[in-house]
């Protein structure tokens, strides 16, 4: 026999209790940590602040209510735009030029910490002193750059683009017309689509990834908070493993990629997709993508959108109609501080740029290297050193040639500007020295010619034509009255050359003509 148990609100209270259970559990755990871990004492938490933080953890999982993407474009760099070098300036100015109604802002090494403290302090979007402390402690530039973009995009949303990314098409065209902007909260693109290398020791973890150098999001998107939480947890793990503070951790290239870069970004995106769709997604969904696909509220564009011109992953050139940005890679110097694995005889497998034959040759050769005789190893290493030297010399020569070309171009531009400025200056001086009365009243034609002869088509202005007719009538009357006596020969009037007329005019004290 079934016995119905009374409930408050028709069972509503029981359902709400189940929904709130994670919050209660999290509160209990955080309160336990608060009372027993000295780490939290530095932030001077109160129980109320702990509860606020717990609720903040729950809030990121709520879908954003914004129907439109913020009209904001964000970039980060060492200096502000007024101090950009030419190549950074040329890339950066494409964003406000193609998107004049958007706010464009660059966070720099001088104001980034202030931004984090403002937006994640007591009066910020959420109160997270652990974020502020971690960001303040970090010394690894690339890690700070990755974390900062996630923090900014979580707090305010909009478009993020690396400083070496050029905008090719206006942002308001990024969402294809078949999608409703109110249904999309995050816009990303495929970057690396090379699943055949998924089991490769070095390339595997980064063989399937979304682009992280450009993306667009609405504020408070769960993917951004997933990334923030992951980065904080990962940094603490690395510091504990290396037995050093976060400020002193050492990272190689692959650790950066998996810790805060494209691999971490991709993992957070796939996790959020699984949460929204209630099923696990595999890379097959995005392999060889020819049309954008919407998964939950995350719009995935084709590889050409943000990652054209790579030479792999079936990406086309930047002339493709799908290409929205162009990545120039000139700001990607951080690998010099976080080096890739480089074999002494065969170098880096990344130099193959995902070309299958090259990759597998590198893999086979490095595996067989250990079994070679010592002299053979030395020979291969010396050959590699010679190749590296030749490549380095070629790069230096190319850089010097480019620098000379830039210098010549700048000099030519400066000369043109100077000549234009000098011409304008001379014109201004000429106009300033010319009496206004002369400009308005003196005719510009020579004294030996009539106005009609100087006008196009021999036409006179109306007022001058009337005056000329009156003068001709008067001269005709005078000619009749002053006719020479009969029998005398009439002399032809002598006309002076222009030079003599000008000299005569000057000698008589009158002003010379000025032509403007």
pLDDT at 474: 55
Query: 50 and 170: one domain?
Result: no
Return all residues near 364 (Cβ < 8 A) that are at least 6 apart.
Answer: none
C-alpha closest to that of 325 among 292, 297, 300, 303: 303
Query: 366 and 296: one domain?
Result: no
**Cα distance between residue 346 and residue 366, in whole Å:** 7
In a domain, 413, yes or no: yes
Q: Is 293 helix (H, G, I), strand (E, B) or coil?
A: strand
Query: 414 and 324: one domain?
Result: no
pLDDT at 400: 87
The 8-class DSSP code of residue 343 comes to B
Of 395, 419, 443, the domain-final residue: 419
- The pLDDT > 70 percentage for the chain reads 68
Predicted confidence (pLDDT) at residue 52 exceeds the cutoff of 90:
no
For residues 293 and 492, the model is more confident at 293
Neighbours of 75 (CB within 10 A): 23
C-alpha closest to that of 220 among 171, 301, 150: 150
Query: 400 and 326: one domain?
Result: no
The 8-class DSSP code of residue 509 comes to T
pLDDT band for 331, please (50, 70, 90 cuts). low
Query: 170 and 109: one domain?
Result: yes
Q: What would the DSSP string read from start to end of 28-57?
A: HHHHHHHHH-GGGGGGT--HHHHHHHHHHH
Of 340, 373, 392, the domain-final residue: 340
Neighbours of 303 (CB within 10 A): 27
In a domain, 333, yes or no: yes
- The pLDDT > 90 percentage for the chain reads 59
pLDDT band for 402, please (50, 70, 90 cuts). confident
Measured in degrees and rounded to the nearest 5, phi and psi for residue 106 equal -120, 125
Token output for 377: 């190893």
Enclosing domain of residue 133: 67-340
Query: 401 and 258: one domain?
Result: no
Token output for 103: 């706010």
Run of H or E including 167: strand 165-167
Look at the chain and report how many structural domains it folds into: 3
In a domain, 456, yes or no: no
In a domain, 515, yes or no: no
In a domain, 497, yes or no: no
pLDDT tens string 91-137: 999 999 999 999 999 999 999 999 999 999 999 999 999 999 999 99
Neighbours of 263 (CB within 10 A): 21
C-alpha closest to that of 176 among 68, 276, 292, 75: 292
Query: 75 and 212: one domain?
Result: yes
Query: 321 and 204: one domain?
Result: yes
For residues 272 and 25, the model is more confident at 272
pLDDT band for 67, please (50, 70, 90 cuts). confident
**Cα distance between residue 291 and residue 299, in whole Å:** 11
Token output for 456: 């196009």
Predicted confidence (pLDDT) at residue 405 exceeds the cutoff of 80:
yes
Predicted confidence (pLDDT) at residue 401 exceeds the cutoff of 60:
yes
Of 419, 438, 462, the domain-final residue: 419
Measured in degrees and rounded to the nearest 5, phi and psi for residue 192 equal -110, 120
Token output for 455: 């006008």
In a domain, 514, yes or no: no
Half-sphere exposure of 168 (CA within 13 A, CB side): 20
pLDDT averaged over every residue in the chain: 81
Mean pLDDT (whole number) for 60-79: 81
Query: 50 and 179: one domain?
Result: no
pLDDT at 417: 83
Query: 192 and 223: one domain?
Result: yes
Query: How much of the chain is helix, strand and coil, in % rounded to 5?
Result: 55, 10, 35
pLDDT at 332: 60
pLDDT band for 43, please (50, 70, 90 cuts). very low
**Cα distance between residue 88 and residue 90, in whole Å:** 6
pLDDT tens string 172-224: 999 999 999 999 999 999 999 999 999 999 999 999 999 999 999 999 999 99
Mean pLDDT (whole number) for 296-309: 98
C-alpha closest to that of 353 among 377, 329, 370: 329
Query: 49 and 71: one domain?
Result: no
What are the b/e assignments for 470-486, b being 16+ CB within 10 Å?
eeeeeeeeeeeeeeeee
Mean pLDDT (whole number) for 57-68: 58
CB 184 within 8 Å of CB 235: no
In a domain, 474, yes or no: no
CATH of the domain at 162: 3.90.550
pLDDT band for 41, please (50, 70, 90 cuts). very low
Token output for 111: 């104001």
Predicted confidence (pLDDT) at residue 481 exceeds the cutoff of 60:
no
Query: 86 and 219: one domain?
Result: yes
pLDDT at 487: 46
pLDDT at 111: 96
pLDDT band for 287, please (50, 70, 90 cuts). very high
CB 293 within 8 Å of CB 305: no
Run of H or E including 436: helix 436-441
pLDDT band for 338, please (50, 70, 90 cuts). confident
In a domain, 223, yes or no: yes
Mean pLDDT (whole number) for 331-360: 88
For residues 26 and 203, the model is more confident at 203
Measured in degrees and rounded to the nearest 5, phi and psi for residue 359 equal -60, -45
Please return the burial class of 17, using the count of CB atoms within 10 Å of its CB with bins 0-12, 13-18 and 19+.
Answer: exposed
Mean pLDDT (whole number) for 10-38: 48
């Amino acid at each position: 026999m079934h016995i119905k148990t009374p409930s408050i609100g028709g069972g509503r209270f029981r359902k709400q209790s189940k929904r709130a259970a994670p919050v209660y559990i999290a509160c209990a755990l955080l309160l336990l940590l608060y009372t027993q871990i000295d780490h939290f004492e530095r932030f001077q938490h109160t129980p109320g602040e702990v509860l606020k933080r717990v609720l903040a953890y729950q809030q990121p999982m709520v879908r954003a209510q914004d129907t439109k993407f913020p009209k904001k474009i964000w970039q980060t760099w060492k200096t502000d735009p007024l101090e950009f070098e030419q190549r950074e300036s040329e890339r950066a100015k494409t964003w406000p030029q193609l998107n004049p109604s958007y706010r464009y802002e660059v966070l720099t090494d001088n104001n980034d910490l202030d931004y984090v403290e403002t937006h994640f302090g007591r009066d910020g979007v959420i109160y997270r002193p652990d974020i502020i402390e971690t960001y303040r402690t970090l010394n690894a530039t690339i890690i700070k750059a990755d974390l900062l973009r996630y923090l900014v995009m979580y707090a305010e949303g909009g478009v993020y683009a690396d400083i070496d990314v050029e905008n090719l098409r206006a942002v308001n065209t990024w969402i294809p017309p078949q999608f409703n902007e109110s249904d999309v909260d995050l816009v990303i693109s495929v970057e690396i689509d090379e699943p055949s290398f998924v089991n490769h020791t070095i390339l595997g973890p980064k063989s399937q990834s979304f682009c992280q150098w450009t993306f667009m999001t609405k504020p408070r998107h769960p993917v951004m908070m997933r990334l923030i939480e992951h980065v904080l947890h990962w940094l603490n793990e690395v510091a504990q493993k290396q037995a050093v503070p976060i400020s002193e951790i050492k990272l190689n290239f692959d650790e950066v990629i998996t810790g805060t870069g494209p691999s971490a970004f991709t993992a957070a995106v796939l996790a959020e997709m699984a949460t929204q769709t209630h099923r696990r997604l595999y890379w097959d969904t995005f392999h060889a993508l020819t049309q954008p696909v919407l998964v939950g509220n995350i719009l995935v564009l084709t590889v050409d959108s943000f990652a054209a011109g790579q030479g792999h992953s079936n990406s086309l050139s930047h002339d493709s109609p799908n290409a929205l940005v162009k990545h120039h890679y000139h700001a990607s110097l951080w690998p010099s501080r976080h080096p890739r694995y480089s074999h002494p005889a065969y170098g880096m497998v990344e130099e193959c740029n995902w070309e299958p034959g090259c990759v597998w040759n590198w893999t086979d050769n490095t595996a067989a290297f250990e079994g070679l005789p010592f002299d053979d190893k030395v020979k291969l290493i010396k050959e590699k050193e010679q190749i590296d030297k030749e490549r380095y010399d070629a790069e230096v020569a190319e850089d010097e040639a480019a620098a000379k070309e830039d210098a010549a171009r700048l000099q030519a531009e400066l000369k043109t500007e100077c000549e234009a400025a000098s011409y304008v200056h001379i014109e201004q001086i000429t106009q300033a020295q010319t009496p206004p009365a002369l400009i308005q009243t003196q005719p510009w034609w020579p004294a030996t010619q009539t106005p009609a002869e100087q006008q196009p088509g021999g036409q006179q202005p109306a007022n001058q034509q009337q005056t000329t007719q009156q003068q001709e009538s008067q001269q005709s009357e005078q000619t009749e009255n002053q006719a020479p006596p009969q029998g005398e020969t009439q002399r032809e009037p002598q006309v002076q050359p222009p030079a003599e007329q000008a000299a005569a005019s000057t000698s008589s004290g009158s002003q010379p003509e000025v032509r403007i």
